[in-house]
Amino acid sequence: MARFQILSLIGGGIRGAFITSYLKELEQKLGRPIAESFDLIAGTSTGGIIAAGLALGMSAEQMHDFYVRYGEQIFTPRPPYKAKRLMRFIFPVANWVFREKTGSGLDSAFRARYCPHALQTAFDEGFGDRTLKSVEFTRLIIPSVNLSRGEPHIFRSRHLPLGVRDSNLKVSDVVIAATAAPTYFPHRQIRDEAFVDGGVWAADPSMLAFSETMRIQQFCTREGMDPAYSTKEVHLLSIGTGRAQYSLEPPGADAGVLFWAPRVADLMSTSQVQGLHLPLKYLLGDRYRHVNFPMERQWGLAEVENIPALFAMGEKRAEETFDWVSDSFLQHHRDQFVPFDSDEDAIDLDEFGFD
């Protein structure tokens, strides 16, 4: 039986800079593309950006350079909201009160906080016109949410028959959809359907990636083309975007929107990541390893001033963990997958309860 390795990259906004620095350092020590060691790469939100680049065959250094060049640009604040008519007189006072109570102004009550045009420019320049059909270096999955259908959606390479349906989508559009965190960026329209950040349901895509390997095992059975492996041969390396000592003290005996609105996203994503460690450790044992770094506080998704510290922490963690990561994961060489590439392959797997 073959060995099957997964690289799982967790969401976390600009904290993805840690992942790029960490992988760049590992790759330089390894002397070859990091993606060559993994049969499947999964990424949520900022992790999806990095995962897409690696799965296309880009080096970790190229993805690091992308964050160096575009990190601050991606989180370009919009110009102040201009109220109209009678609201011109009410808005300044209401905005001050709201900012005092929540830490952010009323601008974010009417629209997303950051400019979508800067995001579009960065990804268009980074990925060009390449489509998901171009993803052949290694397998890729990126979770998102299809708002129009009211269900999770997984963008994937053509390693499964289901992947054919999205094969003509531009990678830049996919990563914009998969990083459109509610309140941070506007939703993304693709084929007349609205998508948002997969971190809403899969901030840590590790369990999703493990499920994908089981799906590959079940549906990819082309003789001489697809790998044969057992669950006992699945190994998963997860890389986080910061581990905070996270706690909250709700005011009094109750708390409402003013308290929860600026906190609920961080609470949900942090809890999701923490909650997955136990089942993954139970399923995979020592074949599951997680790399992260401690944060004294919860660094915000858009705090671009932390980029230098994140880069430095990535380099430090790579130095600290290289030996065991190399022994456990980096000696493996993935077999390049054979894509499904015709409409006839695009079978409907709904009967199996799969996206």
Q: Which residues are catalytic?
A: 45, 197
**Contact in structure between 54 and 35 (CB atoms under 8 Å):** yes
- Residues contacting residue 198 through CB under 8 Å, at least 6 positions apart: 11, 44, 45, 48, 142, 143, 144, 145, 152, 178, 205
Query: Do 169 and 131 contact (CB within 8 A), yes or no?
Result: yes
Separation in Å, CA 24 to CA 21, 42, 68, 179: 5, 17, 12, 22
- Asked if residues 343 and 47 have their Cβ atoms less than 8 Å apart, the reply is no
Q: Which two tokens stand for residue 28?
A: 């330089």
Tokens of 42: 């999964």
Q: How far apart are CA 67 and CA 179, in angstroms?
A: 14
DSSP string, 115-163: -HHHHHHHHHHHHTT-BGGG--SSEEEEEEEETTTTEEEEEE-TTSGGG
Q: Tell me the C-alpha distance between 204 and 239, whole Å.
A: 9
Residue ranges of alpha helices (H) inside 220-331 are 257-260, 264-284, 307-325
Residue 5: beta bridge partners?
Answer: 235
Residues 6+ apart with CB under 8 A from 146: 152, 153, 193, 194, 195
CA distance linking residue 272 with residue 55, whole number of Å: 25
